[in-house]
Amino acid sequence: MTALFTATLAQGELPNVMSGVTLYHFLFTSAAMFVIGLIGFLTRRNLIIMFLCTELMFQAAGIALIAFSRFWMNHTGETFVIFVLTVAAAEAAMALALVVLLFRRKETLDSSAWREMKG
């Protein structure tokens, strides 16, 4: 059991458990999650869920960044993920304040209630 944990969480060398997984595995997960978020943003009509889908896309970008960071064995990708977290927090604050404002105006979260903004 301890051998398993030290192997999985090893810092310097390549853990044995890593062997069957390439960078591409993680990039595929990241791309699939990004696309699911994109589809959700396009299809759902609830404003809050649309913003939740953008968070899903942020998350996918984070996985790709961490995978590249591991691949090059440096920590630059991880500092970028800190940046992604910052942007996500800022986005959550702004977007949710906006959603509450829009809800107070129309009493609905339906994005098509704001259809007239299409011009």
Partner 1 sequence: MPQVLSPILLYIGCAVGAIGVILSLPRARFSLFPIGSLIAAAGVGVVWIGLGATYPDKIPNYHYYIFSAIALGASLRVITHPRPVYAALYFILTILASAGLYLILSAEFMSFALIIVYAGAILITYIFVIMLATESPSEEQPDVLNEYDRVSREPVMATLAGFILLAALSSMLASGSAGLRFDPAKASGDRGLEVMTKKVERILRDAGQLGNKETILVENGKLAMDVKARTIKIVQPSGEVRTLTSGEWPEALRLSNTEGVAHALIVEHPGSIEIAGVILLLAMLGAVVLARKKVDMDEQAKAQAAAREKSSEAGDELGIEGRYSPPGVGEGGSPS
CA distance to 5, 8, 14, 18, 19, per residue, from 1 (Å): 6, 11, 18, 17, 19
Give CA–CA dist 60/106, Å, rounded.
Answer: 33
Kindly tell me which residue out of 1, 2, 11, 117 binds partner 1, with binding defined by CB under 8 A: 11
- The answer to whether residue 114 forms part of the interface with partner 1 (CB under 8 A) is no
Cα four-point dihedral sign 118, 94, 31, 29: negative
- The answer to whether residue 90 forms part of the interface with partner 1 (CB under 8 A) is yes
- The answer to whether residue 36 forms part of the interface with partner 1 (CB under 8 A) is yes
Pick out residues in 41-80 that bind partner 1 (CB under 8 A): 42-46, 48-49, 51-53, 55-56, 59, 62-63, 66-67, 69-76, 78-79
- The answer to whether residue 6 forms part of the interface with partner 1 (CB under 8 A) is no
Could you tell me the two tokens for 1? 């059991």
